[in-house]
Amino acid sequence: MFTLNNHLELRRVTISSLLTCIYLPSIISVISYKGILYSVGSGSSFYILVLIFIAELIKSFYLSSNNEIQSKKNKAKIRVSDILKAFGFLLGVTFCFFLGIILFGAPVLDKHEETLMLSSLLTLLSVFPLVAHTGVELAMQLLFGVKHFSKDTIIAMLVNNALLCVCGAWIGAVVIPLDWNTPWQQWPIPCYLGAIGGYLLSNVMTVLKVTMMSASHKYKFLNFFVNIINKLHVSK
């Protein structure tokens, strides 16, 4: 899926993934150092979402902006209506996540705040970077697999991130019913952390792969690992 054809894109992908690998763990370690890791579900942790939002926004600017002349044209075209549309779309996606999470087993009558926080996190991590990078229409087409993206390294990375993020949240739910009686088995902490973990894993894998791809010129055996990681990518 990833090719060495476009070195500039590859470098951008690597750097943005590296950024994620730095900023997300630092947020998590700071809040766990402060001892408020288990309050991530409540509304008081809204600032985490804001931080992630800002970081993702910066990343997407980096990813799409400083490309040659062509992108400068695109940049000029960004209008207020586009931004509004994107926000509306994101809100809609958040609501869909909210409904979906409840349909798949979140408490119905209470804990709406927690569920809402989880769905906003999922939106922020999975859909928002795509929308920011490609715009609403293309993002929708990509999400439903209508459009193929095999040539675009950046979009491939973003879709992978989104899928692994949702998978992480999904798998996080496994630990909730176990009888360990730990404080982090509360709804929605495992799913919340699972989503972040999945996102992080995806980014780490990207960095790892690019590193190994560039090193595999010298060491041929690394190609084997690159192939394995390529297989691991969840793609349709």
Partner 1 sequence: MLFWLQHKWSGLWLLIFAFGSLTLFLYGFFPLKYHSGKLAHMDDLPNFIDGVSIDGHEVYNSGENSVILMVIDGLRYDFAAEEYMPYTGQLIKNKSACIYVSVAEPPTVTMPRIKSPERKKEKAQWRRTINFWRDIFAMMTGSVSTFADVALNFGAPAVKGDSILRVASSRGRHSVLYGDDTWLRLFPGLWTESDGTTSFFVTDYTEVDNNVTRHLDSVLTPLEDKKPKFDFLVLHYLGLDHIGHLEGARSPKIKPKLIEMDSIVKKIHTAMQTWDRSGVLIICGDHGMRDAGGHGGASPAEVLVPLVVLKSTDFQCPHELGPGPVVAQVDIAPTISWLLNAPIPGDSTGKFLPSLLPSDIRQHLYLLHVNALHNVKQGVPTDTEYYKQFKRAETQFARYLSTGQQSAARIAKEFYDESLAAMSKQLSEATTDFDVFALGLAVVFLYLMLTALVCVTLYSLQPENQRKISVTDKHKTNLGTVVAFAVIFAIIASTLTLTCFISETRSQFCSFGPSWSAVFLASAVALTFAYFLVKIGLEKIRDLSTLRDLNAIDFLLILGTLFHAWSFFGTSFIEEEHMTWYFFWNTLMFFVLVRTIVVIVLYFGKRLSGATEVQEKPELEHRMSDVGVGIVPKWVLLIGLHRYLRTMNQTGDRWLFLPDTADWLNAPENSIYLQAHLIIGTLATFAICLRNIRHMNNHLKIHSVLTILSTLCIFLYRISAGSIRLPNEVPKWDAEQVVQVFWWLLAAQTIFEVITYVGAFPNGNRFVYNKPKAKTEDYFYDNAEEPWNLNDVKLNLARSLTHIMYNQMMLIIVLLMRPHNVIMVPSIYITCLLTAKCLDHKLLDSRPGRNTEGADTLSLTLAHIWIGAVFYFYQGNSNSLASVDLGSGYVGLSEYSPVRVAARMGLHAYAGPALSGAHLFCSLPYTDINRYRQAVWRVTNIMALQRVYQVVIYCVIAIIFRHHLFVWSVFSPKLLYDFVATIFSVQALLTIAEIVCLTHVVSWISRCITYRRVT
* Binding residues vs partner 1 (CB under 8 A): 102-105, 108, 144-146, 170, 173-174, 177-179, 236
Closest contact distance (angstroms) between CB of 56 and partner 1 is: 24
What is the nearest approach in angstroms of partner 1 to the Cβ of residue 219? 33
Shortest Å, Cβ 174 to partner 1: 7
CA distance 204 to 60: 18
Between 76 and 103, name the residue whose CB sits nearer to partner 1: 103
Q: How far is the CB of 133 from partner 1 (least distance, A)?
A: 21
Residue with tokens 């060495």: 4
Runs of H (alpha helix) within the chain: 7-33, 46-64, 69-77, 80-103, 112-122, 128-134, 136-143, 153-172, 189-215, 222-232
Question: Which residue's CB is nearer to partner 1, number 102 or number 229?
Answer: 102
Q: Which is nearer to partner 1, 68 or 179 (CB)?
A: 179
- Residue 173 to residues 2, 44, 78, 166, 176, Cα–Cα distance (Å): 31, 22, 39, 11, 6
Smaller CB separation from partner 1, 173 or 232: 173
- Give whichever of 91 and 99 is closer to partner 1, judged by the CB atom: 99
Structure tokens at 234: 């969840």
The CB-of-230 to partner 1 minimum distance in angstroms stands at: 17
Query: Cα separation of 127 and 158, whole Å?
Result: 9
With 0-12 / 13-18 / 19 or more C-beta atoms within 10 angstroms meaning exposed / middle / buried, residue 119 is: buried
Contacts of 199 (CB under 8 A, 6+ apart): 20, 24, 125, 126, 161, 164, 165, 168
